[in-house]
Chains A and B, each alone.
Chain A
Amino acid sequence: MEKYWKIFYNGIIPGNPVFVLLLGMCATLGTTSSAMNGLMMGVATAAVLVCSNLVISLIKNLVPDKVRIPAFIVVIATFVTVLQLVVNAWMPALNASLGIFIPLIVVNCILLGRAEAFASKNGIVASLLDGLGAGIGFTFALVLLGASRELLGTGRLFGATIYPEDYGMLLFVLAPGAFIALGYLIAIVNKIRKVS
């Protein structure tokens, strides 16, 4: 039991995809202009991650080593396309706010990273938990980054006004602010990890 908890927990703090592994920066920087966007992107990625980890651990013995990367990418791309179609059909609000970033989940390194490093070597339950942990870790990081950018840039948090927008630093909503905020967050998380 403890082993499974460790696998699950690893993705959240010790091996956080964004703050520690620095994977999936494109989606991280691009979608976190608000906390809500970050949350939705995180959940979408987590869903694909859990599904692809599950399927890849199921088929790991049927895939010869030399073709494993294309095979994994096909699996991941399939799930992402399914997700995109479903979002398009039944979640128009999500589609409007994430748009192009949903298909870009395919090239998110976390997915192939977890598939290659974990799911292709471990059992179904472990892979499922690993995907869930990494997905939650990714979502956590995106929400944290999105919330700090939204708060600093527009004075809002999840759309609720905290202080007047006129005092916000617009820079944080724009691309350069994403890099600055991410840098500080990584520094803070590193500090916390060293202390504990």
Chain B
Amino acid sequence: MRIVIGEGSCGIAAGAGKVHTALTEALRGTDASIGIAGCIGMCFLEPVVDIYDGKTLLKRLVKVSADDAGAIAKAVKNNDLSAVSYLEISEEDSVFLKKQTRIALRRCGLIDPESIDSYLEDGGYNALKKVLSGMSPEDVIEEIKTSGLAGRGGAGFPTWFKWNAARKSEGEEKYLICNADEGDPGAFMDRAVIESDPHALIEGMLIAAYAIGASKAFVYVRAEYPLAIIRLQKAINEATERGLLGDSILGTDFTCRLKIKAGAGAFVCGEETALIESLEGKRGMPRLKPPFPAEKGYENKPSNINNVETFANVSWIIENGGEAFSAMGTENSKGTKVFALTGKIKRGGLVEIPMGLTLREVIYDIGGGIRDNKEFKAVQLGGPSGGCIPKELLDTVIDYKALSATGAIMGSGGMVVMDEGTCMVNMARFFLDFTTKESCGKCVHCRIGTKRMFESLTRITEGNGKEGDIELLTELCEGIRSGALCGLGQTAPNPVLTTIKYFRNEYEAHIKEKKCPAGECAALRQFVIDPEKCKGCTLCSKKCPVGAISGSVKEAHIIDTSKCIKCGQCKEVCRFGAVEIR
């Protein structure tokens, strides 16, 4: 038997490394082998351990801890896996994977990301072989055109068009760049692809480099992704050793060298011209377009930039044909899209679905709905460039146009679900805090406008909002949208505009009634003890740092609101749920 432990970053954070050590120890002396895989995407069930017989999956164990190693080893030794059935994934949770259609993630969590043989055994590099043994660069671009593949980084620009522009651009030396600077806080699919299936990225990039005529390629990875960098470097080394990367690839005259460049942390570097500046070692400040990177990119040479997920789809398209890809999806959005489903969701993780499913299907059918039996309030798509979509629009289909029509965007794939306890004004403030810090400072509208918006939103959440604030915010939004050079600035107002559009009543409650309907804004909430529920255990009054709670043993306690500093410690310690926020 073969025991495979899911060791992506989040699996490791959940304790997969400790499980691995414990299993190695417990299985010593048996003929079972231990291996690793990347991330299967079921973050809510990490650490995940799969038991295989050859290629057949016998059992998938979830939420495994190091303490379970003994039981697993015993079951493996006795050849009786029913003994560990208590760890097996439930029918209900299995739905999470069954309802997905995986292309970009097709090998994630199934192969060993640190072994090129594991990738080759699964048909890896067949697409590259097919391309180099008979397709012209134009054929490749045509196939991608047929597929309808569009940029998965967020903008959704047709991939073939960019490739074609870079191919036709004058110049001997051309560059191919992969944008793996996944900066949207709440999105992690690019990291998962690199950590779990790095060769899929390399293969996709090689095919693209062949199509545009580039012999040098870079992957610009966030420095916060150390494991992704390690695994990608290992994959590059192995591919080079096997003649799949470097000079005369597969014996042809196609040559391509691939280098990793670790980013240094700046959200704006997700914008392609800022990324190029950063690659050149400068401050990542966007350039004026045109000229587009296809004409003058890295070192002023023709360059093409695509996102990780875009490249991860390429080898599948070449192998299965563009038509198979375009058969999935909607009129104007083809294929699949990966989302990082997080927030107040029951089953959070990586989800790849065909375009055209509704938000409701993703959140409820795959994600299992809202945690702790609370009410769904909104879903945030596209991070700081995106917007919040309310309950009424849950049946919106996942499609570039349909999502843009709501005021949000498809984005790179962050999908953060919020419940009734999330304040939408504070949510807008959170994103503006982010964009204010991440604005590169080049354009006045973005640099100062986001700061002013952040200040107004802060005032509102602190109970100091005044009449006219909503209008002021709207005016600032329009100014920034039209006055900023790059995508970061132009889209920075989206979180504010969508929350004003769909949750105007929350803004008004903060401004006029000095109330936070969600009970999240500390300055506006009041802690009270429900005398019916309070058992008089005195725990809260002992915990209160300012002595604001009074009451005798076994009698209902009272909070003196004039003393209360709203720290919430009483609510946290109360075992009877008697402390309420109003």
Chain A complexes with chain B = no
Residues of B bordering A, CB below 8 Å: none
